[in-house]
Structure 1
Amino acid sequence: MCRHIAWAADRPVALGDLLVAPAHGLYRQSWAPRRQRYGTVNADGFGVGWYADGDPVPARYRRAGPVWADPSFADLARVVRSRSALAAVRDATLPGADGEAAAAPFAAGTWLFSHNGAVGGWPASVAALAAALPPADLLSLEARNDSALVWALALHRLRRGEAPGDALAGTVREVAAAAPGSRLNLLLTDGAGVAATAWGDSLWYLAGPGRPTVVASEPYDDDPGWREVPDRTLLTATADGVTTSPLAPLTAPAGPARSTEPAEPYEESPA
């Protein structure tokens, strides 16, 4: 469907160091992903959002076409540096006319968001969820696709005061209950930390002293420090480390107590 990546670091990192320079970075994943389970080429748009020091509102650069066809992207990524960023390349589930507006990251205030996956039975399956949103939220949708609606549902929870991880978990549970078989790998950052879900597709992270904490659809290199996140897991990350917890379906009993994975040493998070 798509590939996406976000990171949190204690010092600014050039976008290109994590998106373009690695042998299997997001740039290359747009045409040659190694672990993509659905779709083959991510040529239906791309985007990157990042935070400048001292400014909590992120900037975005998005385009409707493939990232490899944009001659400006490599130069932009070479000189722009940020402690936190989110980027994505898109393989559209269904054809549409929204173009750039349908490309992640979606944004509101201090937030950046991406959805890797698809909502089963779109759009009828989630019509009731959409109807429960405030009318202004529906009228403000950037695009007419499933990812934009999933973002509206998550943003509604954030605006109600839910913590980032709780907002993503609640959104995944309600969409999965309404639309069984959906793939809902969500990625969210506010410039300080990253929250993500693994639900139906691949998710990995890389963390350790002296390096950014990276959360991505797939590893961008063969560093042995990469760890795969089990399916149906909620992950939160900062520059200091990663926390994971089981993400049970809406109708299932609560899972075991939350577990914490520090940035060092590299050990598997419990399933």
Structure 2
Amino acid sequence: MCRHLGYVGPPVGVGELVMRGPHSLFAQSWAPADMRAGGTINADGFGVAWWRRADIGVEAARDAVARYRNQAPIWTDPAVAEVLGQLESRSVIAAVRSATVGMPVERSACAPFTDEHWAFSHNGVIPDWRTTLVAVLADIDEVFATATPAVVARPASPATSFGSPAVLLHAEAFTDSAALWVLLRGLLRAITPEGPITSPAEAVQLLVALILRHQPTARLNLLLGNGAALWATTCWHSLSVLVADDHTVLSSEPYDADPRWQSVTDRQLVVATPGHCTITALELPATERVRS
């Protein structure tokens, strides 16, 4: 499986964050300590996303995200130190990849996946992902179909409309993570104050619950950011949180021995802003509540 890292707070060196600590994300690419249910290293590519504007605040949600990805192992790419080391941002999402057997090793399959001001990483796997996500797509369509028509407008563009499996063809790569991002991206674009989805947290929560309804063995550690906040889930894999006075870090594994690191238990939803973090239980299907 993969390892990912999210930061939100005062400006930080993008490359420095990736290489921070004796057990940095960089080091976790070849020496992870808590890989669960498969995988020993994360050598199938990597990616880093950051938000270009330095004064991230109220306007951050409308700023575009920048990204660098490579299908090669992170330790082979000098750009991590030479280029990313020259950049600063108030929010960063980075990931190193361990590809599921049978899925392509290519740049387009590497997280973070991005859209406008959003960046997304998935640590995990969805068994039989094509069948599962087609079923989830039908469930999402039902959620919007049962919403009050006068209040909720159905998304119209191909990248956000639900109901046809063809929407999954908009995935960057032929992988579960890329297809998952198509569905989450559509939910994020459909957020309205009066609609069935009113916040990023609700979008993440709904998607995880629907996938687990159809595929209880799915592993769904998600990490989403918009430059001002981070949203994450724990579903099978490890995640730790460090909350400081002015920043918050989410990481698959702690990168150092700072006593402020807190391990997040399984089946949780995490919402992080600078210096603050809330952790609540995911709302799961009845079968999942019994099993977990």
State the TM-score, normalizing by the size of structure 1: 0.87
Please, which of 68, 77, 96 is the counterpart of residue 70 of structure 1?
A: 77
Please, which of 177, 194, 197 is the counterpart of residue 147 of structure 1?
A: 177
* Partner deviation per Cα, 1:13-61 (whole Å, 9 max, x = no partner): 0013321131111100000011222311101110000011267101100
Residue of structure 2 equivalent to 1:251: 286
Counterpart code for 2:217: G
Please, which of 168, 188, 193 is the counterpart of residue 224 of structure 2?
A: 188
Higher Cα radius of gyration: 2
Please, which of 203, 210, 233 is the counterpart of residue 167 of structure 1?
A: 203
Please, which of 171, 194, 205 is the counterpart of residue 241 of structure 2?
A: 205
Residue of structure 2 equivalent to 1:3: 3
Segment drifting more, 149-158 vs 59-68: 149-158
Shift in alpha-carbon separation, 1:200–1:36, aligned structure 2, 3 A? same
Residue of structure 1 equivalent to 2:27: 28
Cα distance in 2 for residues equivalent to 1:220 and 1:190: 23
Q: CA deviation at 1:79?
A: 1.1
Matched, 1:83 2:113: no
Shift in alpha-carbon separation, 1:122–1:241, aligned structure 2, 3 A? same
Shift in alpha-carbon separation, 1:200–1:253, aligned structure 2, 3 A? closer
Shift in alpha-carbon separation, 1:16–1:253, aligned structure 2, 3 A? closer
Matched, 1:229 2:259: no
Please, which of 168, 185, 207 is the counterpart of residue 138 of structure 1?
A: 168
SS in 2 for 1:123: helix
Gapped runs of 5+ residues in structure 2?
142-161, 192-196
Partners of 1:2 and 1:42 within 8 A in 2:
yes
Residue of structure 1 equivalent to 2:14: 15
Partners of 1:130 and 1:138 within 8 A in 2:
no
The number of aligned residues is 252
Partners of 2:242 and 2:260 within 8 A in 1:
yes
SS in 1 for 2:90: strand
Cα distance in 1 for residues equivalent to 2:135 and 2:163: 12
* Partner deviation per Cα, 1:65-124 (whole Å, 9 max, x = no partner): 110111222112321110001000000012334610000000111100000000023333
Aligned pairs for 1:213-224 (under 5 A) are 213-224=248-259
Q: CA deviation at 1:134?
A: 5.3
Partners of 2:4 and 2:123 within 8 A in 1:
yes
Alpha-carbon RMSD: 1.9
Gapped runs of 5+ residues in structure 1?
255-271
Residue of structure 2 equivalent to 1:50: 50
Shift in alpha-carbon separation, 1:134–1:70, aligned structure 2, 3 A? farther
Q: CA deviation at 1:216?
A: 1.0
Shift in alpha-carbon separation, 1:20–1:116, aligned structure 2, 3 A? same
Please, which of 95, 105, 108 is the counterpart of residue 112 of structure 2?
A: 105
Segment drifting more, 25-34 vs 242-251: 242-251
SS in 1 for 2:129: coil
Q: Pick the structure with more helix per residue.
A: 2
Residue of structure 1 equivalent to 2:148: none
Residue of structure 1 equivalent to 2:188: 158
Partners of 1:235 and 1:245 within 8 A in 2:
yes
